[in-house]
Amino acid sequence: MNAYLELFTTFAKVGAMTFGGGYAMLPILQRELAEKRNWATEEELIDYYAIGQCTPGVIAVNVATFVGRKRKGIPGGIAATFGLAAPSIIIITLIAAFLRRFAEYPAVKNAFAGIRACVCVLVINAVVKMWKKAVTDKLTLAVFLAVFLCASFFSVSPAIYVVLAAALGVGVRKVKEKRA
């Protein structure tokens, strides 16, 4: 299969099978990219998620762009990004055309309630998998707890947390190198 078509179809499948936005896509991206296709390591995906959190747009779209570019340069990034976005564009267009007619049906309300519950589980699953790779020592545990508590109580941009955590990581590394 053509590499660009493979990028497009892989990310289109992710986009078509994911309800609930960028965070809900994380476990599916993890399975497709790290486990099934070996297009990125779990560590690379965690880095892509972090960078994607700091850059404009949906995390999953940014990850698609990063992975596509890594595999086939800028055209690969475009193919992967368009593949991820195309199903959403089609689905949203169809929903917008018919939503007013169907939004009040009990079956539709119940379906959305079920989807929301399922998305929560998928996000928790992704967090647990990322936790195992990212929280590896006392420092990373302290960073996790500090960011978790701050994010729970303060309305601050996630980008600030990521930048501060990166600066802390660089600072700690420099201190360790200086001591050695």
Distance CA 122, CA 73 (A): 30
Model pLDDT for residues 9-53, shown as the tens digit of each residue: 999 998 888 766 667 778 888 889 999 999 999 888 888 888 887
> How high is the pLDDT of residue 84?
92
* Digit-coded pLDDT (tens) for 151-160: 999 998 888 9
| Cα separation values, 54 from 10, 50, 132, 143, 162, Å | 24, 7, 22, 17, 7
Coil, strand or helix at 14: helix
Q: Is 2's pLDDT higher than 90?
A: yes
Distance from C-alpha of 72 to C-alpha of 66, rounded to nearest angstrom: 10
The CB density around residue 21, as the number of other CB atoms within 10 Å, is: 13
Place of tokens 């055209």: 75
- The whole-number pLDDT of residue 92 equals 83
Q: What is the CA radius of gyration of the chain?
A: 19
54-74 pLDDT, tens digit each: 777 778 888 999 999 999 999
> How many residues does this entry show for the chain?
180
Q: Span 143-154, mean pLDDT? A: 93
| Predicted pLDDT of residue 22 | 63
pLDDT, one tens digit per residue, over 66-116 is 999 999 999 999 999 999 999 988 988 887 887 777 777 888 888 888 888
141 to each of 71, 146, 152, 158, 170, how far by Cα in Å?
Answer: 32, 9, 16, 18, 16
7: pLDDT strictly greater than 90: yes
* Rounded-to-integer distance, Cα 105 and Cα 111, Å: 10
Write down the pLDDT at residue 147.
92
Phi first, then psi: give them for residue 53, nearest 5 degrees. -70, -30
